[in-house]
Each structure stands twice: as C-alpha cells, then as structure tokens.
Amino acid sequence: MQLYVCNYMSTAISNYSDFLSWNGSGNAYLTASFTITDGSYTTPYSIGTSQTFDGKGFTIEINNSTSFNGLFKLQGGTVQHLDVVNTSASLANGSGWIGYGINSTANSGAYGIVYNCGVTMNGGVIGTNCGGIVGMYAATQSNGSSFVLGSATNNLTIANCRYSGPFPSGGGGIIGKFASNGNASNTPAPTASGGVISIENCFINITTSGSNGGGITGSFVGQNYTGANNKITRCIVQGAASSNFNG
C-alpha cells in the first residue's frame, strides 16, 4: 500500500497557528514539525471521506495537555506519513493519539485509513481502553443515538504504523476496546457486524506492563462480528509482559 496526496488545493501547515487556522477544512500537509503546548486543542478535527492529512514525515509533539482527545476524528478519510511524540500530555480514557475514540453512542468510531504513522510516548499518561493509534469503538457506526446493527461500511485500515509506549489497560497498542462491534451493548443479541478492520505491517513496543487488553488490539474487538473478515497480518509486539493479555 502506497498513498499519495496532491499538494494542489491543499493547505500547507508549518506551525501550530497554521494548524488551528486550517480548522480541518479540506486536505492539508505539513512542511515542518511543531508542538502543541497549551492544551487549547480539545476538539479533534474531522477527516472525512476524500480528505487527506499528510504529515510528510514531520512530527507533531504534544505537551502539557490534560485528557487529550486525539489529533483527528477519522470519518472515512486518510492520515498518513505522520509521527506523534508525547512527553507530558495525558490521553483521555478510550481515545487514541491519532484517531479520536468515542465513549458514547452519539458518534461513529474511527474509520478510514491510517498509513505510515508512528506514536512515541516519552512520558505522559495513556488512559484506560485507549489505542496507541486509534481509540475505542473503531469501525463501529452510530445513528446518533445508538450503535447500529449491520453497519459494515465503516471499515478501518491501519498499515505500516508504529507505537512505542505504556500498555493501555483494556486497550491495545494500535486500536482500543470494542472495535468492529455491531452492537456494543450486547443487547439485543447481535445480528450483524461492525466495519472490517485490517491491521498490517505494524510494530508495537510496550514499555510498561498493564492488564486486560492486547499488544495490538484492545479487548472485545469484533465481539459481535458475524463474519471473518477482520485481519491482522505481519505485525510484531515486543516489550513488557502484561497480565490477562486478551487482544
């Protein structure tokens, strides 16, 4: 898999001020690395269908942010060639550093493509049920008030990505808890699945042990899935041992 974005009709971003001015409108690409330091970025920008954010190999560093919700709300678009480094921020429970994770039925979880992105935690805190790349309820759709059975269109592909940091209890090194669930509440009995998740060529380095999750995915991924299309291929997990490893 190799993805490209044309710089024509795209917003060039060289610093945090440019990032805020872009406001998630249209395609964008980085021309330099920058740091988010003041905790003012609290609502992740949506990356919708046919929309691409291209990091061009540059880094966004996140510092001094409490309960950070993630950089983007991935809703069918693509985030690629981006590195994220955290030194002192805390990731909100259920979220992901690159892809926002929902914690209610008011929104759909992350779906689309994350390609050639990396996350390194040199400090800070990762909350429970989080994903190192994308948060909980990934590839799970909502109709605005409840999770929808049979919503098998919100597919998520994460390829050539890296995570190095603490084990997110209940979550996973790549994606968080309850991904690809047709009915996250388990009531009534599920009759269909969530979207398909494909995780390919990813590397996970767990630096601090935890429990009740997995090196790649969080717990209960595909729990109500009626098919067999979710796949993890050519991925490596190394690092600290964890208890109740189930993802």
Structure tokens at 109: 């979880």
Q: What percent of the chain has pLDDT over 70?
A: 77
Q: Measured at the alpha carbon of residue 84, what is the angle toward residues 81 and 89, in degrees to the nearest 5?
A: 165
Which pLDDT score is estimated for 175? 93
Residue 197 to residue 169: CA distance in whole angstroms: 21
Residue 190 to residue 224: CA distance in whole angstroms: 6
With 0-12 / 13-18 / 19 or more C-beta atoms within 10 angstroms meaning exposed / middle / buried, residue 235 is middle
Which pLDDT score is estimated for 1? 61
Q: Which amino acid is at 37?
A: T
Which pLDDT score is estimated for 151? 52
Give the global pTM: 0.87
Beta bridge partners, 178, equal none
Instruction: Quick: pLDDT tens for 81-94.
Output: 999 999 899 999 98
Which of the two residues, 189 and 169, has the higher pLDDT score? 169
C-beta separation of 175 from 168 below 8 A: no
Strands (E), the chain: 11-13, 28-30, 34-36, 45-48, 52-54, 59-62, 72-80, 83-86, 90-91, 111-115, 118-121, 125-126, 156-159, 162-165, 197-200, 203-206, 231-233, 236-239
Which of the two residues, 229 and 155, has the higher pLDDT score? 155
CA distances from 15 to 35, 89, 167, 180 (A): 8, 19, 30, 35
pLDDT-based confidence at residue 109 (cuts at 50, 70, 90): confident
Q: What is the mean pLDDT of the chain?
A: 82
Tell whether the model's pLDDT for residue 2 goes beyond 80: no
Instruction: Quick: pLDDT tens for 25-81.
Output: 999 999 999 999 878 888 899 999 989 999 999 999 999 888 899 999 998 999 999
Which pLDDT score is estimated for 67? 87
pLDDT-based confidence at residue 139 (cuts at 50, 70, 90): confident
Helix segments in the chain, DSSP class H: 16-22
pLDDT-based confidence at residue 134 (cuts at 50, 70, 90): very high
The DSSP code for 92 is P
Instruction: Quick: pLDDT tens for 39-53.
Output: 888 889 999 998 999
With 0-12 / 13-18 / 19 or more C-beta atoms within 10 angstroms meaning exposed / middle / buried, residue 22 is middle
Torsion of CA 28, 101, 210, 157, to 10 degrees: -60
Tokens 């309820």 -> residue: 137
HSE-up of residue 202 (Cα within 13 Å, Cβ side): 30
Tell whether the model's pLDDT for residue 113 goes beyond 90: yes
Which pLDDT score is estimated for 186? 44
